[in-house]
Amino acid sequence: MLQKIAVLADIHGNATALAAVLADAREQHVTDYWTVGDITVRGPESERCMQLLDQVHPTAYVLGNHEQNYRKVLAATPTNFTKPKQVMATILTDYDRRQLSAAHFEQLLHLPLTVTKQVGGLKIRLQHVLPNFASGHTLAPTAPQVNFDQAAAGQPDIVIYAHTHQPLMRYSSDGQLILNAGTIGLPTAVRPALRHRQAMYLILTFDDHGLKGTDYRQVAFDWQQAIKIAQEQHLPYLPFYEQTLRTGAYQYAPTAVASYNDAHQLATQAAAILRAQA
């Protein structure tokens, strides 16, 4: 029996891109959907993203670092959550929380770090970064082999992770297959010649003999419309989101965020948010 599973990663509240991917997946006769974290945050339409996913009923969701930030913000105080990226997390969590339904916000708060799927004789583990950690740069595409061996601990046959926004296929020292689908919502690349404004996802095809195919797909979406929605919805940190979509270059460096926070007095705004939730 043939199964076609779409792996969806790093949507980041970009419902315009997600809708294009789901339309493409339907055309490819996908039979199941797995998500690998960071459905929300940074883009303007986290609630619409959740509604779109509800329509296709994914059988796997795992915690991303941005959903994990929801938890951190809810536990934070104005005195212990003051670094530039923490200020941004507070403001973007507040933005998302005001648009997400109560049920969707609770769902995102309680996502597991890993999900293990059994497809035929294959044990497949989904995780945003490491099996016990949903953030950090451990699995950058150029990271040492030992890091990828750590990612594959526990002897799954296949590991699927996310977070880096870069498609990847490589192996652990024990021969386990390690895959990254890239990003749907914030396509970026280091080298200018490799930058594009297309949503990335992965289709895995299985038959009775095992993994039959890996199809790394790129789907055009109306990135200008995505920016327009962000403008109309008064997305916080709009210049970062807009420039990322326009240029295909990552814009959220800590130094840039710190300067933006200072210029717009966002640390004061974040502290007020945290005081109000206490």
For 228-272, write each residue's pLDDT tens digit: 999 999 999 999 999 999 999 999 999 999 999 999 999 999 999
**CA torsion through residues 126, 129, 133, 135, sign:** negative
Helix (H) / strand (E) containing 200: strand 198-207
In this predicted structure, the answer to whether residue 84 has a pLDDT above a threshold of 90 is: yes
| Residue of 203, 206, 232 lying closest to 219 (CA atoms) | 203
**CA torsion through residues 242, 245, 248, 249, sign:** positive
Cα distance between residue 233 and residue 273, in whole Å? 19
In this predicted structure, the answer to whether residue 75 has a pLDDT above a threshold of 90 is: yes
- Check residue 233 and give its pLDDT: 97
Mean pLDDT of 64-93: 97
pLDDT, the chain, mean: 97
In this predicted structure, the answer to whether residue 42 has a pLDDT above a threshold of 80 is: yes
CATH number at residue 247: 3.60.21.10
Query: 278 pLDDT band (50/70/90 cuts)?
Result: confident
Structural domain boundaries, residue 258? 3-277
Cα distance between residue 115 and residue 178, in whole Å? 15
For 204-232, write each residue's pLDDT tens digit: 999 999 999 999 999 999 999 999 999 99
Mean pLDDT of 101-126: 98
Q: What percent of the chain has pLDDT over 70?
A: 100
Query: 1 pLDDT band (50/70/90 cuts)?
Result: confident
Query: 80 pLDDT band (50/70/90 cuts)?
Result: very high
- Check residue 224 and give its pLDDT: 98
Number of domains present in the structure of the chain: 1
For 9-25, write each residue's pLDDT tens digit: 999 999 999 999 999 99
CB atoms within 10 A of CB 119: 16
| Residue of 117, 142, 145, 100 lying closest to 36 (CA atoms) | 117
